[in-house]
Amino acid sequence: MIDSMPDRPARTRAAGLLLLLTPVIWGATFPAAKVALRHVSPWTFVAWSRGLGLLAIAAVLLVSRPPREAWTLGLVPAGALLGALMTAGYTLQTVGIDHTSATNAGFITVLYVVLAPAGAALIGRHTPDRVDVACLAAALAGLALLSLRGGEFRAGDLIVLASSAAFAAHIVAVDVLVDRHAAAPLALAQMAASAVLTAAIALPGGAQAGEVASLWWIFVLTGVLGSGIAFSVQVMAQRSLSPVRASILLAAEALVAALVAAIWLGERLSARGWAGAAVVLAAIAVSELYPRRLQAPTEG
């Protein structure tokens, strides 16, 4: 059913607010991963997090019970694509976090704010608005102030940078596929594919079940919430948001990562870093408020 014009801005605002829950959860997972990696391998960490995420989504679907017609054969290739991109992003990110700070990893990861709109434009689905472009440029400048030092990256930073490209591709792919499949089954399909892939990668090194059990609260955060809930929220919210707006909103995870890492791990930002954080926050605020001002006169 086609939405009426007065309802569309409200739905877009609601989706934006819903999507803001995602960076809060994801931001907290950066220092959590840093702590977990003191005890388990990156491969074990990723595999258990995705597996728990799959169980969380499956539990929700057992209660909500999507209609039978929502389960189509097309979910298999769609889930495989999204699951592969998710696996690439999380595996590279986790390996990178093991060789850099949680704060750096958070800021470098959100370089997908630049990569996702470029990817969307490349496949011809979205032409970024001038305001979106300005916000992306401001966010990039803020990220540079926050995370770059002398134009050089450590090895861990470069690995996390590669993960941001995979996450950017995931955002664009979700935008394409949410128009073709029901959101909840698609979320389950992508997590199932990622759980299988990460389990296959981790299997040769062993399950490390004892270590995982001792860190159960970290895996609840990174697996049940960070994988199961947050990725499901992203899929549902992107039904009403472009990759450009989704990327800008999700960039807030870097700020959450910095704050939680400061409290939990004692990591600190310099004055230059806080200046960069202010620029990123301004870019997020403008990207969210500007469309509202444009649409306000036409709302009934």
Does 88 reside within a domain? yes
Q: What is the total count of domains within the chain?
A: 1
Q: What's the pLDDT score for residue 293?
A: 41
Does 98 reside within a domain? yes
Question: Domain of 262?
Answer: 24-294
Q: How far apart are CA 189 and CA 272, in angstroms?
A: 42
Does 218 reside within a domain? yes
**Contact (Cβ atoms closer than 8 angstroms) between residue 240 and residue 15:** yes
| C-alpha separations of 196 from 105, 170, 193, 215 in Å | 25, 18, 5, 22
Q: How far apart are CA 186 and CA 182, in angstroms?
A: 6
Q: How far apart are CA 16 and CA 9, in angstroms?
A: 11
> How far from each other are the two terminal CA atoms of the chain, in whole angstroms?
20
Q: What's the pLDDT score for residue 5?
A: 39
Does 87 reside within a domain? yes
Q: What's the pLDDT score for residue 70?
A: 83
Does 236 reside within a domain? yes
How many CB atoms neighbour CB 293 within 10 A?
Answer: 8
How does pLDDT run along the chain (300 residues), one tens digit per residue? 333 334 456 555 666 666 677 888 889 999 999 999 999 999 999 999 999 999 988 988 888 788 888 888 889 999 999 999 999 999 999 999 998 889 888 888 887 877 776 677 666 655 667 777 787 788 778 777 877 777 766 778 889 889 988 988 888 888 888 888 887 888 899 999 999 999 999 988 888 889 999 999 999 999 998 887 876 776 666 666 666 666 666 667 888 898 899 999 999 888 887 887 788 778 776 765 665 343 433 333
Does 10 reside within a domain? no
Q: What's the pLDDT score for residue 13?
A: 62
| Selection from 145, 168, 169, 151 nearest residue 280 by Cα | 145
Q: What's the pLDDT score for residue 4?
A: 36
Does 191 reside within a domain? yes
What is the model's pTM?
A: 0.78
Q: What's the pLDDT score for residue 238?
A: 61
Does 1 reside within a domain? no
Phi, psi of 40 (to 5 degrees): -130, 160
